[in-house]
Amino acid sequence: MSKLTDLTITQAREGLTKGDFTARELTQAHIDAMEAHRGLNAFITETPDRALEQADAADVAIKSGDAGAMAGVPIGMKDLFCTEGVLTTAASHILDGFTPPYESTVSANLKKAGAVTLGKTNLDEFAMGSSNETSYYGPVKNPWKKQGDDADMVPGGSSGGSAAAVAGRLAIAATGTDTGGSIRQPAAFTGIVGLKPTYGRCSRYGIVAFASSLDQAGPMTRTVRDAAIMLGAMAGFDPKDSTSANVPVPDFEAALTGDIRGKTVGIPAEYRPDGLNAEVQAVWDKGVQMLKDAGATVVDISLPHTKYALPTYYIVAPAEASSNLARYDGVRFGLRVTDGVRSLDDMYMKTRGEGFGKEVRRRVLIGTYALSAGYYDAYYLKAQKVRTLIAQDFKKAFETCDVILTPTAPSAAFPVGAEVDDPITMYLNDVFTVPTSLAGLPGLSVPVDLDKDGLPMGLQLIGRPFDEETVLQVGDVMEKAAGFTHKPASVGA
């Protein structure tokens, strides 16, 4: 039997059902791994005692035969999900000591499905970042390193802690949230599977908001099948979130037929800009060939407004964030700075000035500017119009294809510290993921190969609204064809 920490959800489910091991044993193995790999800084808060309690409950449920889909599976919970009675930080100083008296719908759904939560995973502050370096709790390290180089690499962001925990075998799976690529890009950087579902598929209730019209929770796992299982446990209509979609949750796992003959895969010309990293191009070509070999038809498509996606995103997301983050004012919860404070405005300025990190402050300022009188039409309104055009691009493309294949990120992971001082370069990390977010479509990143430095590279599959099934079905086939079995150096043989 392989190590307990190497198991997928599918394997763990099987072993637990057969009684090969208990949920407690499985959980303890992951708690040990979590403690052994604290150097990755993947968790902000560890909750081993709660995890073991949940594991025991799962063992009881498994014995009595009414185990949920995630029964006994140890997972990491991105510290953007509010968890009742457990510190919730959004990786920000401003939420110091904030312990929510309520539970997010997604984490509650997972709990109901029997999942065991090991702790709260690190992230970029308020999910703003692409390298997990903006966290108040310090950067997360990628379990992967370049071959023959000991330099720490970033795990991507913002769900960097979740990605590192899953890739580094600290957790079988983890929750992520994706606003412009925060699940998919770190999944690609750490050689795991990450799925951003259709906007509205998972409830946003209880998730600390970054950009409300874009934020979406999703699974980060080691296989496509695991992503299908976990999404089924997370998703569902929630009357507490007005933007949650009242559509049935299909059996995503049942969609994994292994047969994609007759499916049409679109390849967008606009995702092949001048100067595209040759290795990225090579992996992409490889993916195209794998899908062709599996019997899919590959067609060229055009998404003409792609080049406007990133600037559009960097108006819309900061605009919403500037308003969403207004509630962190030192009045009711979290940090309040009172030293030398002489007025309410003073308290606001000192609390928010000290409580928010540099990147968060930058985005609040950008967003405030974009919404200001005299600029609203030129920025926010224009961006919304472009957003509509981008969505129309996809709609039109899906008239001729069932799924779109693109690279997930323009490069593999980069060293910690390499891009922190250059926000534009940092923002470019999301160039391939942002259009999908703006259009609200499902996007799945699947690890396909290693680059010449031995770092993982992923490809993205984009689907029609609420058609995660096709995305997962094609992803499953591509995953099998790629046969990506590499493990990061930190895990050992």
Site for other proteins (CB under 8 A): which residue of 21, 237, 308, 333?
Answer: 333
Segment near other proteins (CB under 8 A); pick from 25-33, 56-64, 224-232, 315-323:
315-323
Site for other proteins (CB under 8 A): which residue of 319, 366, 412, 416?
Answer: 319
DSSP letter string, 81-125: B-BTTB---TT-GGGTT---SS--HHHHHHHHTT-EEEEEEP-SG
DSSP letter string, 152-220: PBP--SSSHHHHHHHHTTS-SEEEEEESSSTTHHHHHHHT-EEEE--TTSS--TTBPPS-TTT-EEEEE
- Report d(CA 149, CA 406) in Å as an integer: 29
CB-based contacts of 249-255 (< 8 A; 24+ apart in sequence): 250/469, 252/228, 252/468, 252/469, 252/472, 253/225, 253/228, 253/229, 255/228, 255/468, 255/469, 255/470, 255/472, 255/473
Question: Considering the complex, what minimum distance in angstroms separates the CB of residue 125 from other proteins?
Answer: 13
Question: Considering the complex, what minimum distance in angstroms separates the CB of residue 334 from other proteins?
Answer: 9
Site for other proteins (CB under 8 A): which residue of 25, 96, 329, 354?
Answer: 329
Nearest to 200 by CA among 229, 255, 238: 238
310 binds other proteins (CB under 8 A): no
Task: With beta carbons less than 8 A apart as the criterion, state whether 478 and 290 touch.
Answer: yes
In terms of C-beta density within 10 A (0-12 exposed, 13-18 middle, 19 or more buried), how is residue 246 classed? Answer: exposed
**Residues 367 to 426 in contact with other proteins, rule: CB under 8 A:** 368, 371-373, 376, 380
Number of H helices, E strands in the chain: 15, 11
Question: Considering the complex, what minimum distance in angstroms separates the CB of residue 381 from other proteins?
Answer: 9
**Residues 236 to 275 in contact with other proteins, rule: CB under 8 A:** 239-243
Helix (H, G, I), strand (E, B) or coil at 492: coil
Residue with Cβ nearer other proteins (289 or 388) = 388
353 binds other proteins (CB under 8 A): no
x/- contact string, 73-112, with other proteins (CB under 8 A)?
Answer: --------xx-----x-x----x--x-xxx-x--------
Residue with Cβ nearer other proteins (21 or 333) = 333
Single-letter amino acid code for the residue at 283 = V
Residue with Cβ nearer other proteins (210 or 394) = 210
326 binds other proteins (CB under 8 A): yes
Q: Which residues are catalytic?
A: 78, 158, 182
**Residues 183 to 242 in contact with other proteins, rule: CB under 8 A:** 204-209, 211-213, 239-242
Residue with Cβ nearer other proteins (203 or 445) = 203
Quote the tokens at residue 77. 């919970």
Binding site for other proteins (CB under 8 A): 81-82, 88, 90, 95, 98, 100-102, 104, 204-209, 211-213, 239-243, 319-320, 322-323, 325-327, 329, 331-333, 344-345, 348, 368, 371-373, 376, 380
